[in-house]
Structures are given as structure tokens and as C-alpha cells.
């Protein structure tokens, strides 16, 4: 069997397990989501997640960016650092990496084969649980010093929530997965705060008052020191281009000095500030992270699909924005970085999203809307998106595939245009795959 087909066979096997995150009638409850399966699975594997230090990151917006920044800084400091995230954009191996190196497809297939006997010992195990355990074991076998672990969904019942981290992190909380996590920020914050462990320090990003209050209450109940990065540190913004933005993080007389971050948008400055707060706490715990490693880690961070320029002519930008708050960040960034540009917007969304509000946010900026869908099973049907767009006062053309949508968008391009593809990480990923083939 050739290696690519062996890898595909491994993926098919993983996906053959019930994965509640892909079902339409998901109910986030102890009946369907609990940690007993995950704990048993890991015990059978020798508890590999206990072999290294962990930074555990939950939140609605920015958690992936924070993970990427922390991982980059730790790697630049000479610490062998694993990074587990989800979902992937193009290839499944993006979810498991050490430094900038993705787990090789061949290695992934080998691990799936190795885990099969154990998988069969655990009833009702899910795709995400298998993948999470595989990552934990891979990091253990590779003898990493740290692993930066991004929560998949929520926090309280998430498969990653079996870890006892060195630091817990909660990025900005906003409305997303409301049918699962609750329809108020307080309820969502309760689920996200489920990652807070007894006496383990927690760092938080900018939060709205109801979410902040819930986090503070749970941290107090669990005797967990709480650092609100927004209260502890100030961010000074400098030069901004489509390639980078400069910032300086200050606390009293101390300062990071000017740093060029290759991730644009003011929201990334909030993420950088939370990251800096985490790094400072790790330093206090004895982790060696030099000022030069901090600077290099920020400046060399790689986190594709977040206001990423794929091509200059025509100017094509992708973004994984997929809920109202991330669309507000996207809209703000378009106005700031692309003033006067004609916006050709390629939109595809997942069926559980608040697309009505998302459309209202981008309506003033969009000159042409092209509606498409990814191959993901949760992708919303084109006609449903078109109906919602029309009710929002936006005329949109429906194009069945992302490739055809790209061709359509380019046909309307002129020197004053920008093509932006957003609405889900899967649309961004599909565009990225197309342009990586040198379209």
C-alpha cells in the first residue's frame, strides 16, 4: 500500500467513529459529553499527557492565535514544543505539530494502527477523542518539553480537559455554538471556564462584563489566581501594513520594545497581550524565555488563514471569521487596511452560525457577494444563505464549488479590488489549497 493511501485509510478509520461535533442535533451534555471515556483511553495508553508541561487554551475568539504565539515563543526559547489545534484548514496533520513541523502523514498512519487495539477497548469513543489521545501520545514519544493545547469545543466536557496545565488561558468569549453552549455570555463563559483547575493560574483576554464575572467566580471557587491581561498590561500600536503591525506591550516602566507581528487586526494585539501575560507567568515559574526569544517568537509566528494574503495580483485575502464578533473584527480591519477598495466577498458558512447578523455587519463594505460552500458536512446550503442575504438587502450569486467561486471572483477583479474569502475556516482552507497550487 502506498503511503498516501495508507494515510487516507487512517483518516477514514478515525472519521468512522461517531463524532458528535458533526451532528446536527448536538446537545452538549454529560449524557453525550463526559471525560470518563477519555480518561480511560489515556490510562490504557499510560497517561502520556502527564509527561510534559501543558498550556491549555479555551475561548471563542483568538484561542488559536494565542496558542500559535505561545508555541512560537517557547520554540524560539529552545523548548521542544508540541501544538495541538482544531479544526485543520487543508490537511489533518495541521492539528498536531512540534514547532513548525506537522506530524508526517506516514507517522499519523502508524499511530492510528498502533492505537487501534486500545480504541476497541473503549465504548462510544469519538473522532476527536482519538485524535486528542494520538496527539498526547505523539508529544510524549517525541519527548516535548511543553505542549500548547487548544480546546476543541467549549471546555468543561472537551476531550482536552483531562490535563492539569501549568497555566490555563481563556481568550475573548463571544456568541458561538449557542445551541450547544448556551445563549448568554454567562452560560458560554461557564462552559469555557470548565478548564480552570484547582489552584492553577488562569490568564484571560479582554472580556465583556457578564463573561468576566463568571470567570472570576469560578476562579475564586477553585482558588485559582487570575490575571486579566487587559488590566495588567497596555498595548501601544505602531506602524500597520498588510504584512505586519508593530506593537509594544508595557507594564509600568517595563516594555517589550517594538515588535513586528505578522498577524494583522487590532484583535491580534489583544491576543499578543494575553500571550505576553502567559509568558511572564511562565518566567515567574522558572521557565527560561529570553527577551530576544520573545521578540523572535512573535515576529516568526505562523498562523495561516487569519487575514492572510494569498496573492497580490489579484489581491486575495482569506480569513477564518465565522461568527458575529469575528466578522466585526474583519469589517474593522477591512476599513482600516483597505480603505477605498472594492470588496468582492466570497462567503460560505456552517449551518449553526448566526449568518443574519454576520451579513448585516459586512453589508456596508461588500460591493459584490459570491455565495459558495465547502465540502464540510455542516456547510449551509447555498439557497438558504442567498435567502438570508436578500433579507439583509444584499444580492448574492450562488456558485456551487469554491473553485468556481474563485474564478467568478477573479472575473470581476480590477486594480482597485480585493477578493476576501471568509465565513468558515473551511472556506478559507479551500481557497488556500487552490492558491497554493499556484493558480
User: How high is the pLDDT of residue 74?
Assistant: 98
Evaluate whether 94 touches 78 at the Cβ level (below 8 Å): no
Q: Are strands 226-228 and 146-150 parallel, antiparallel or unpaired?
A: unpaired
Evaluate whether 419 touches 381 at the Cβ level (below 8 Å): no
User: How high is the pLDDT of residue 260?
Assistant: 98
Phi and psi of 381, rounded to 5°?
Answer: -65, 145
3-class secondary structure, 249: strand
User: How high is the pLDDT of residue 378?
Assistant: 76
Give the Cα separation of 85 and 64 in Å (integer).
7
Question: According to the CATH classification, is domain 308-436 in 3.90.190.20?
Answer: yes
CA–CA distances in Å: residue 272 to residues 229, 280, 296: 10, 12, 13
pTM for the model: 0.92
Give the Cα separation of 166 and 158 in Å (integer).
18
Residue 31 burial by Cβ neighbours in a 10 Å radius (0-12, 13-18, 19+): exposed
**CB half-sphere exposure, 217, CA atoms < 13 A:** 12
Ordered DSSP codes for 211-243:
HHHHHHHHHHHTT--EEEHHHH-EEEEEEE-SS
Q: Which residues of the chain carry a pLDDT beneath 70?
A: 1-4, 18-33, 176-183, 438-439
Can 3-299 and 308-436 be said to share one CATH topology?
no
Structural domain 3-299, CATH architecture? 3-Layer(aba) Sandwich (3.40)
* pLDDT tens per residue across span 225-235: 999 999 999 99
Give the Cα separation of 154 and 158 in Å (integer).
6
User: How high is the pLDDT of residue 25?
Assistant: 41
User: How high is the pLDDT of residue 353?
Assistant: 77
Please name which of 327, 328, 256, 267 lies closest in space to residue 297, comparing C-alpha atoms: 256
Ordered DSSP codes for 362-383:
HGGG-SEEEE---SSTTBPPHH
User: How high is the pLDDT of residue 163?
Assistant: 98
Please name which of 149, 154, 132 lies closest in space to residue 29, comparing C-alpha atoms: 154
Evaluate whether 356 touches 365 at the Cβ level (below 8 Å): no
Domain boundaries, the chain: 3-299, 308-436
Evaluate whether 318 touches 428 at the Cβ level (below 8 Å): yes
Give the Cα separation of 403 and 424 in Å (integer).
16
Give the Cα separation of 431 and 439 in Å (integer).
10
Give the Cα separation of 322 and 353 in Å (integer).
7
3-state secondary structure 296-351: HHHHCCCCCCCCEEEEECCEEEECCCCCHHHHHHHHHHHHHHCCCCEEEEEECCEC
Give the Cα separation of 58 and 150 in Å (integer).
6
3-state percent helix, strand, coil for the chain, nearest multiple of 5: 45, 20, 40
Amino acid at each position: 500500500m502506498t503511503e498516501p493511501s495508507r494515510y487516507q485509510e487512517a483518516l477514514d478509520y478515525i472519521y468512522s467513529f461517531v463524532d458528535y461535533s458533526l451532528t446536527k442535533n448536538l446537545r452538549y451534555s454529560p449524557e453525550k459529553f463526559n471525560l470518563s471515556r477519555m480518561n480511560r483511553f489515556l490510562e490504557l495508553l499510560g497517561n502520556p499527557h502527564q509527561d510534559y508541561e501543558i498550556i491549555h487554551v479555551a475561548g471563542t475568539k483568538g484561542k488559536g492565535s494565542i496558542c500559535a504565539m505561545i508555541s512560537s515563543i517557547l520554540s524560539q526559547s529552545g523548548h521542544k514544543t508540541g501544538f495541538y489545534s482544531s479544526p485543520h484548514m487543508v490537511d489533518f496533520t495541521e492539528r498536531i505539530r512540534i514547532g513548525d513541523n506537522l506530524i508526517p502523514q506516514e507517522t499519523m498512519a502508524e499511530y492510528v494502527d498502533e492505537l487501534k487495539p486500545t480504541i476497541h477497548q473503549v465504548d462510544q469513543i469519538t473522532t476527536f477523542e482519538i485524535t486528542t489521545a494520538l496527539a498526547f501520545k505523539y508529544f510524549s514519544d517525541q519527548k516535548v518539553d511543553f505542549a500548547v493545547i487548544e480546546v476543541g469545543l467549549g471546555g468543561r466536557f472537551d476531550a482536552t480537559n483531562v490535563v492539569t496545565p501549568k497555566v490555563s488561558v481563556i481568550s475573548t468569549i463571544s456568541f458561538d455554538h449557542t445551541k450547544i453552549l448556551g445563549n448568554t455570555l454567562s452560560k458560554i463563559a461557564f462552559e469555557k471556564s470548565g478548564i480552570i483547575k484547582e489552584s492553577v493560574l488562569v490568564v484571560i483576554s479582554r472580556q465583556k462584563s457578564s463573561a468576566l464575572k463568571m470567570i472570576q467566580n469560578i476562579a475564586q471557587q477553585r482558588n485559582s489566581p487570575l490575571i486579566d491581561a487587559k488590566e495588567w498590561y497596555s498595548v501601544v500600536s505602531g506602524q500597520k501594513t498588510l504584512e505586519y503591525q508593530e506593537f509594544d506591550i508595557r507594564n509600568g516602566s517595563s516594555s517589550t520594545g517594538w515588535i513586528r507581528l505578522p498577524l494583522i487586526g487590532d484583535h491580534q494585539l489583544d491576543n499578543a497581550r494575553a500571550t505576553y501575560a502567559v509568558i511572564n507567568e511562565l518566567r515567574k515559574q522558572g521557565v527560561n524565555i529570553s527577551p530576544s526569544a520573545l521578540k523572535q517568537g512573535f515576529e516568526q509566528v505562523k498562523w495561516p488563514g487569519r487575514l492572510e494574503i494569498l496573492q497580490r495580483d489579484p489581491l486575495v485575502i482569506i480569513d477564518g471569521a465565522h461568527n458575529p464578533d469575528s466578522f466585526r473584527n474583519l469589517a474593522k480591519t477591512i476599513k482600516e487596511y483597505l480603505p477605498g477598495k472594492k470588496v468582492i466577498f466570497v462567503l460560505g458558512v456552517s449551518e449553526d452560525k448566526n449568518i443574519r447578523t454576520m451579513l448585516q455587519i459586512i453589508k456596508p463594505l461588500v460591493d459584490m457577494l459570491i455565495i459558495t460552500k465547502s465540502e464540510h458536512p455542516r456547510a449551509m446550503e447555498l439557497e438558504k444563505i442567498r435567502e438570508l442575504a436578500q433579507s439583509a438587502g444584499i444580492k448574492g450569486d450562488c456558485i456551487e464549488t469554491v473553485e468556481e467561486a474563485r474564478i467568478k471572483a477573479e472575473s470581476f477583479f480590477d486594480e482597485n479590488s480585493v477578493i476576501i474569502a471568509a465565513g468558515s475556516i473551511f472556506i478559507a482552507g479551500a481557497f488556500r489549497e487552490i492558491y497554493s497550487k499556484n493558480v
